[in-house]
Structure 1
């Protein structure tokens, strides 16, 4: 529950299958443009099995956690069998590094972590979202940033503050390859009791 979101142990949300009756496509081949055939086809159900996960009836908050490693070496492909392409890529990325740098890219990564974009439709359905990002060094949290979804737009990268700037600077260090960056992201989305 939202009030207990600081508790360390959370039960896993179980994924289960459910059957649904989907809509059927009414697109007919050119030779089947007979309205009688159209009416006949929509009478047949389009049965499907889908995965679904819901919160328990007495729980209102979804907790999602993952780690994110920021790798340096942009422009150096890990596998490439065309040297002309590799040289061109290295040249373009080198030019980008010298002209623009990784500051804006790092700020956009940081903004998307802060606004909870990774929650997809769970973010849209949530009443509240809190995101905590922790920098990990040798398995220990060394720096932490807390973000509230309401402070960061999904449609703009204009919002900036000290926390966001500090996280962006950390991500930039990783992108440039000048430091090892491993982040732990923990998000809490208040969905409502028993919600999908």
Structure 2
């Protein structure tokens, strides 16, 4: 087989793996290894070790790390990401310390989102049966966080979840299902406890 033929076979294999990933099907570490060049490990390390006063350098690193990033972004180091390049962040974002993106596929965050310390956004899970976890077998589904969402400390958002506009996720919650707009949701598993209404304009916290 000549070089052109080998290249065509490799390309076809990669396209097949990408299609399986996009469909949320199980794939292995070895099968997905060709995506390694999209990992922004060095830039993430550099960002986490950049002094706070070097604002322009921090901004340049965020642009290099993320798939897209809006204006007036605040992300307090350290943060962690599997790729970085699969994360898309809107304007006026605030992310507190120890934010973790497990971004094997897209994580899309809207405008005006606030995320408290030690939150994990993970697009990836693993099969229950150990035989299917050979070579780190896994599946991935994208996460969407709409505009004006606030996520409390130590929350975990799992694969395939969409959090609707304006919603509040309570601290320590495990979000395994999508959350509708303008609601307060909390717990393990995370469940909607009430709607956000105009009465909340006069209160200090979601719980009063």
Q: Considering the TM-score relative to the shorter chain, is it more than 0.5? A: no
Normalised by the length of structure 2, the TM-score is 0.22
Q: Which has the larger radius of gyration?
A: 1
Say which structure, 1 or 2, has more relative contact order (CA 8 Å, 6+ apart). 1
